[in-house]
Amino acid sequence: MIIEAHDVGVAIGRRRIIHGESVRCAPGQMTALTGPSGSGKTTLLHTLGLLLPPTTGRVTADGTAISSGSPRARRAFWRDHAAFVLQDYGIIDDEPVAFNVALRRTRRADPKVRAALEHVGLGGREGEPAGHLSGGEKQRLALARAVYRDARVLFVDEPTASLDAANRERVIGLFTDFARRGATVAIATHDEHMIAACAHRHEMNEPATTASIH
Ligand SMILES: Nc1ncnc2c1ncn2[C@@H]1O[C@H](COP(=O)(O)OP(=O)(O)OP(=O)(O)O)[C@@H](O)[C@H]1O
Ligand SMILES: [Mg+2]
């Protein structure tokens, strides 16, 4: 699935957060959204994933404008295609790791859940409360959920920010595998190693520090 931003701008209140961003995220590729802290990488990622509506411009999936679609179309996009690996988001701490993968009660030894957890290096931890995992492990848990659902589009925010070198290489490998299997992977990152692994790099426009909506 091709996910594209067309001249996207986001304003929050009177403040212009991003403006004039156009990027094409293609299947089978990792696309890096890069720029200094505060340049709007996370904001653009959320807009591409339909978590945040663009104030101007639009987001398309395979050429269809989805950012202006119905809430129902948005939900279908999340349910059928998209997965998110965001920071501090989406993990239910009180529920076991296995529940967090499938997002429903499964038989104790669901082989698909186990395979997804093994794939991200969390094998054997099905029964632990997700709240016991570290920040990096929670991100890998979110990735296990994407593996379990075989998501076609992945939205990822700073997946390597808190990792040591060995785990960073491993996480980069996991996302590379995902893209290799044909998924569209959009990653907000300032990690040069992660950027180097991406086929395509989109540099954010200069922050609109002096610009505001009148
Ligand atoms: N909900 C919001 N309300 C007000 N300002 C916001 C909101 N969300 C983001 N911003 C502002 O928009 C700017 C861009 O934020 P964003 O998180 O997209 O940047 P980033 O490039 O991801 O930064 P970092 O590299 O630090 O993660 C920041 O100045 C931020 O304070
Ligand atoms: Mg960010």
Residue pair 200/30 in contact by the 8 Å Cβ criterion: yes
Mean pLDDT along residues 7-28: 96
Q: Is 203 in the pocket of ligand 1 (CB under 6 A)?
A: no
Distances (CA, A) of 69 to 66, 80, 210: 5, 15, 32
d(CA 205, CA 179): 26
Averaged pLDDT of the chain: 92
| 180 assigned to some structural domain | no
pLDDT per residue over 20-38, tens digit each?
A: 999 999 999 999 999 999 9
Domain tally, the chain: 1
Asked whether the predicted pLDDT for residue 211 surpasses 60, the reply is no
Q: Ligand 1 centre from 131 Cα, in Å?
A: 26
Q: Ligand 2 centre from 114 Cα, in Å?
A: 31
| 174 assigned to some structural domain | no
| 29 assigned to some structural domain | no
Task: State which residues form the domain around 110.
Answer: 92-151
Higher local confidence (pLDDT), 78 or 87: 78
Angle at 100 between CA 33 and CA 26, to 5 degrees: 30
DSSP per-residue letters across 166-211:
HHHHHHHHHHHHHHHTT-EEEEE---HHHHHH-SEEEEPPPP-SS-
Torsion angle in degrees (nearest 10) through CA of 119, 125, 130, 133: -80
Asked whether the predicted pLDDT for residue 40 surpasses 90, the reply is yes
| 20 assigned to some structural domain | no
Angle at 197 between CA 193 and CA 198, to 5 degrees: 120
Q: Per-residue confidence at 208, pLDDT binned at 50, 70, 90?
A: low
* Closest ligand 1 atom to 39 CA: 21
| 14 assigned to some structural domain | no
| Shortest-distance Cα residue to atom 10 of ligand 1 | 17
Asked whether the predicted pLDDT for residue 69 surpasses 90, the reply is no
| Shortest-distance Cα residue to atom 5 of ligand 1 | 12
Task: Please report the pLDDT score of residue 108 as a whole number.
Answer: 67
| DSSP structural state of residue 96 | B
Asked whether the predicted pLDDT for residue 151 surpasses 50, the reply is yes
* Closest ligand 1 atom to 17 CA: 12
Closest ligand relative to 36 C-alpha: 1
Closest ligand relative to 33 C-alpha: 1
Higher local confidence (pLDDT), 130 or 164: 130
Q: Nearest-CA neighbor of 154 among 188, 115, 183?
A: 183
| 209 assigned to some structural domain | no
Q: Is 12 in the pocket of ligand 1 (CB under 6 A)?
A: yes
Task: Please report the pLDDT score of residue 90 as a whole number.
Answer: 84
Closest ligand relative to 13 C-alpha: 1
